């Protein structure tokens, strides 16, 4: 298959790119560090968080696709050279951020985020696709963890969200033993939604995105908030309540309350069940 979308680049970043298609309804965010297997440094995290926020506040965007440049790696996690050699992005005008900022941005955006995973999704890259709403894997994808091997761990979304997705024993197997699994096993375990040939990955992502664009954005928003509320504690409940409140503001009942306040009269809610 050939790519059936025409992409329009927008925004200027150093470590990532941002483009849209279908009259701006689908946004594509790409980590542009293939020479580092798309590993992220603090600048990468800051730009990813900024791009996701951009998509969130763009009324036209309905779905976000997230991928790594090339077909060898979705994201290989943190760039450890930044830890040992010092940050190479110190002169950037963008304030560095942590990968947690990216994870939270993906979970908070009210629109579906689809991870398109080709090649390695290792360490923080594995967690990055986990926090996306849907994941489509190329047939060459590999998933796994290296934390205990390199002196790192993710005790937040990293192991806990994985345990919810694949079960505690399998999550501990990947994290404790630094194991890797291929795309088919990831599909069997429920870690990804589908596996396609690597050459078809972007086109399949566009197909899924177009299916989502055709659906009710409010319903999708509430479904995402509802799932997150179970996992985010009071923060998740607050987000769900905020989304419910936004729907309530569109009702005649809410309009009566606002109108009564502006008109300096008692509100009449007697006609509302």
Binding-site residues sit at 37, 120-124, 152, 249, 264
Pairing of strands 16-21, 8-9: antiparallel
What would the two tokens of residue 33 be? 């560090």
Exposed, middle or buried: residue 2 (CB in 10 Å: 0-12, 13-18, 19+)?
A: exposed
**Start-to-end Cα distance in the chain:** 53
Annotated binding site for substrate: 37, 120-124, 152, 249, 264
What distance in Å separates the CA atoms of residue 195 and residue 186, rounded to the nearest whole number? 9
Helices (H), 141-232: 147-150, 157-166, 168-177, 183-189, 201-213, 217-231
- How many angstroms separate the CA atoms of 137 and 143, rounded? 10
Degrees, nearest 5: CA angle 49-54-57: 125
Cβ atoms of 141 and 121 within 8 Å: the answer is yes
Return the CA Rg of the chain: 20
| Contact of 30 with 67, CB cutoff 8 Å | yes
Residue with tokens 């926090």: 131
Give the distance, in angstroms, between the CA of residue 8 and the centroid of all CA atoms in the same chain: 21
Contact assessment for residue 28 and residue 201, using Cβ atoms and an 8 Å cutoff: no
Contact criterion met (CB below 8 Å) for 109 and 52: yes
């Amino acid at each position: 298959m050939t790519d059936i979308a025409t992409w329009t680049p927008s925004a200027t970043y150093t470590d990532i790119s941002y483009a849209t298609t279908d009259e701006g309804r689908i946004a594509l965010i790409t980590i542009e560090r293939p020479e580092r297997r798309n590993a992220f440094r603090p600048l990468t995290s800051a730009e990813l968080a900024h791009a996701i926020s951009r998509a969130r506040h763009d009324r036209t965007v309905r779905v976000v696709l997230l991928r790594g440049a090339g077909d060898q790696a979705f994201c290989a996690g943190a760039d450890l050279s930044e830890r040992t050699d010092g940050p190479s992005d110190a002169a950037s005008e963008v304030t560095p951020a942590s990968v947690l900022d990216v994870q939270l941005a993906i979970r908070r955006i009210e629109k579906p985020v689809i991870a398109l995973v080709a090649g390695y999704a290792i360490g923080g890259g594995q967690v990055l696709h986990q926090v996306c709403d849907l994941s489509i894997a190329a047939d060459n994808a590999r998933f796994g963890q290296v934390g205990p091997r390199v002196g790192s761990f993710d005790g937040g979304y990293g192991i806990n969200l994985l345990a919810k997705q694949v079960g505690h024993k399998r999550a501990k197997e990947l994290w404790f033993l630094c194991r890797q699994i291929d795309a088919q096993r990831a599909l069997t375990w429920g870690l990804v939604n589908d596996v396609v040939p690597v050459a078809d990955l972007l086109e399949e992502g566009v197909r899924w995105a177009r299916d989502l664009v055709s659906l009710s954005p409010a319903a999708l928003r509430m479904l995402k908030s509802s799932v997150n509320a179970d996992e985010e504690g009071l923060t998740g409940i607050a987000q769900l309540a905020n989304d419910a409140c936004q729907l309530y503001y569109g009702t005649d009942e809410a309009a009566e309350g606002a109108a009564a306040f502006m008109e300096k009269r008692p509100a009449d809610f007697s006609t509302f069940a």
